[in-house]
Amino acid sequence: MIYSRIAGTGSYLPSRIVKNAEFAQTLDTSDEWIRERTGIAQRHIAEESQTSSDLALEASRAAIQAAGVQAGEVDLIIVATSTPDFIFPSTACLLQAKLGIQDCAAFDLQAVCSGFVYALATADKFIKSGQHKCALVVGAEVFSRILDWTDRGTCVLFGDGAGAVVLRAADSPGIHSSVLRADGRHAGILSVPGNVSRGKIIGSPFLQMAGNQVFKFAVKVLDEVARETLAAAGAGVGDVDWLIPHQANVRILDATARKLGIPAEKVVVTVAHHGNTSAASIPLALDEYVRDGRIKPGHRLLMEGVGGGFTWGAVYATL
């Protein structure tokens, strides 16, 4: 039996930091208002010259180094992003070229904030098929490009960044189980309802969100998919060393943990200094806790995300 294991993690955040006080200069808001409702204190914003593939490149280099592999050993690249460099070619192909890798499979995956979980579960299946041995799985976003900076209900929530893992074939399980779900009936409560046609923007190019509806839906499905994923591995909530949820806002994180019965000290929380980085949020959080020593080899991780589509999913793994 072939399994897959996370061999290395990496992340990258743009150097520009935007604190809540900056929003108070142009919007009817305050640092206190933002912190109270979201738990966010700051976020990183990419420079105009930086693209998702640029952020992905730095995170990928760190993950490849941490895994102790050469870039040429990577035979599969999956990039989860809702903010690709171009309509095409894919951000994964651009990343492949920047890494100097040739011929391996490379493609983008679009599941918004669930993107990394979807990509990790997909790479796991590819490796278990026996056709691939070393996958680079990346979540990379420049959400600052799709925000209406006059809308205090959305622009204060998001940030830019990238996170990556190297997934390698192994004789013992790293990833134990995964569950992916979607329900397109809820597409309208979180979307960017626009596109480009004949050189013009049709619809809106900005993120739109019905916050209260998203909150209720997110907490419900995150609880359900976590339990389903653990059950698929023959595990229970008590087996989880770390819950790594999508870093949407602290209220969703707290509500999800309470519903699952997971104590606060076992919940990975980075939203205060990253903001919501969509598909990048889980690998960013994972890498931070791995590198500072809180997450150690052998720890059992439950990673879960929910995002526009609506999509949601979870992966249960041993590091």
Pair 149, 191 in one domain? no
Phi first, then psi: what are they for 246, rounded to 5°? -55, 130
Which residues constitute the domain of residue 165? 3-171
Out of 44, 132, 176, 246, pick the active-site residue.
246
Same domain, 166 and 117: yes
Q: For residue 275, what is the domain's CATH number?
A: 3.40.47.10
pLDDT value for 285: 98
Q: Are both 200 and 157 inside the same structural domain?
A: no
Q: Which of 113, 132, 134, 274 is catalytic?
A: 113
Looking at the fold, whether 27 and 163 belong to one and the same domain comes out as yes
Q: What is the pLDDT along the chain (319 residues), one digit of tens a residue?
A: 999 999 999 999 999 999 999 999 999 999 999 999 999 999 999 999 999 999 999 999 999 999 999 999 999 999 999 999 999 999 999 999 999 999 999 999 999 999 999 999 999 999 999 999 999 999 999 999 999 999 999 999 999 999 999 999 999 999 999 999 999 999 999 999 999 999 999 999 999 999 999 999 999 999 999 999 999 999 999 999 999 999 999 999 999 999 999 999 999 999 999 999 999 999 999 999 999 999 999 999 999 999 999 999 999 999 9
Q: Bridge-partner residues for 295, per DSSP?
A: none
- Residue 152 shares a structural domain with residue 9: yes
Q: What is the DSSP string of 145-209?
A: GG--TT-TTTTTTB-EEEEEEEEEEESS-SEEEEEEEE-GGGGGGEE--EEEETTEEEE--S-EE
113 catalytic per annotation: yes
Check if 276 is active-site: yes
Note whether 270 and 224 are same-domain residues: yes
